[in-house]
Structure 1
């Protein structure tokens, strides 16, 4: 996993955890004051979706593959789309400030309509934000997988997602931001990478020397070292 891909993926996960946790907290508040008889369908749905999101993402942090991550992102994308559309249908364009003196029933009495309105607008806004995040994450994942396949990794869908590199970076260096020291144990695919490994490009190879290929931040570099130093 390259450093940039790891950083961006963790940042995406943290954002999803925070937004989902907020929606889950508000939904739990609704469950406490409404269930089991009032606003039951939406309240249960609003608890289920963020709970499922957090649970699946915790599993994906440890056992994710590109194919499972793509499936997960698509399913959660659809669920948060439904969540945003449903909450918008419930609260619509209601101006919460205009509900200063109104109340609505709960299982134990009354609640101010303005408080309920504010919380519903937060659920609506966070649901649409998560929908947008999952949209971008799904598109970026497909682009990175396509890049890895062009770089000579046809089985990248079945490999750990940590094998993906960020844009312009080679896949396959698990849990390292830079190429490890020493010889690279990485298959060369000159046509895919766009830099054919020809001895003429780097000078005449001497019989007592071999090439070492290092993957740095700015791309691969090739050096000649004596055989006795390896």
Structure 2
């Protein structure tokens, strides 16, 4: 597993879980005071999107591949864009501080409009944040897949996503033996049915990343 990519991916997932969980909690509060007759469209949509996001990410943690992750990131990016735009259309012109004694009806009475305004502002802000996070994650994923293919992994789209390397790192399992050199175990490529160009079975092989981003095969000197 490429350690840096795994760490950054987990950090991204934690941020998405926290933001989505907050939106889901606020939407659940709206559902408890408005549904089934008041503001049903936005409330139901606000419940579905964060719940779907958390569900997809839980699946991706176990069964993620670059091709499935790319599709899910793009779909969630579009859904959070719709969520953020809808929340902005509802609440953006309103200044919450100017609301003092105004109230809005609920299914069991009334709620202060200022409280409702603040909660909607949080949903709006977090939705835009998630939209931006998904956009960056999608672009970075495509860049890392393209890099892995240039480094000799043509089937990286359908391999486990943990095989991706971070920028200027070779994909797959690696051990740092010397500064600037990355050596692969010989059994790693046979797992996927192909070997790097110039590889000889049983011959110690190492690869060095050049300043221009290419990978050069270099001999490994062993001493007895």
Determine if the TM-score, normalized by the shorter chain, exceeds 0.5: yes
TM-score by length of 1: 0.82
Deviation at 1:188, TM superposition (A): 3.5
**SS of alignment partner, residue 137 of structure 2:** helix
Q: What is the match of residue 222 of structure 2?
A: 225
Shift of the 178–105 alpha-carbon distance from structure 1 to 2, 3 Å rule, reads farther
TM-score by length of 2: 0.84
Describe the superposition over 1:49-86 as per-residue Cα deviations: whole angstroms up to 9, x where unpaired. Answer: 00000000000001000000000000000000000000
Q: What is the match of residue 157 of structure 1?
A: 157
Deviation at 1:3, TM superposition (A): 1.0
Give structure 1 stretches of 5+ with no counterpart: 191-196, 198-209
Shift of the 211–93 alpha-carbon distance from structure 1 to 2, 3 Å rule, reads same
| Residue 119 of structure 2 corresponds to residue 122 of structure 1 | no
Counterpart pick for 1:213 among 206, 209, 221: 206
Q: What is the match of residue 200 of structure 1?
A: none
Contact (CA 8 Å) 2:175, 2:183: kept in 1 or not? no
Describe the superposition over 1:24-73 as per-residue Cα deviations: whole angstroms up to 9, x where unpaired. Answer: 00000000000010000100000000000000000000100000000000
| Residue 29 of structure 2 corresponds to residue 62 of structure 1 | no
Contact (CA 8 Å) 1:2, 1:177: kept in 2 or not? no
Q: What is the match of residue 146 of structure 1?
A: 146
Describe the superposition over 1:156-192 as per-residue Cα deviations: whole angstroms up to 9, x where unpaired. Answer: 111110110001011121xx6747x9973154347xx
Contact (CA 8 Å) 1:103, 1:113: kept in 2 or not? yes
| Residue 196 of structure 2 corresponds to residue 188 of structure 1 | yes
Contact (CA 8 Å) 1:178, 1:215: kept in 2 or not? no
Shift of the 125–182 alpha-carbon distance from structure 1 to 2, 3 Å rule, reads closer
Contact (CA 8 Å) 1:66, 1:158: kept in 2 or not? yes
Supply the distance in 2 between the matched residues of 1:178 and 1:103 (Cα, whole angstroms): 63
In the TM superposition, what are the counterparts of 1:1-230 in structure 2 within 5 Å?
Answer: 1-173=1-173, 178=176, 184-185=185-186, 186=189, 187-189=195-197, 211-213=204-206, 222-226=219-223
Deviation at 1:97, TM superposition (A): 0.8
Deviation at 1:223, TM superposition (A): 3.0
Shift of the 183–3 alpha-carbon distance from structure 1 to 2, 3 Å rule, reads closer
Q: What is the match of residue 212 of structure 2?
A: none
**SS of alignment partner, residue 224 of structure 1:** coil
Give structure 2 stretches of 5+ with no counterpart: 190-194, 210-214
RMSD: 2.5
Larger radius of gyration: 1
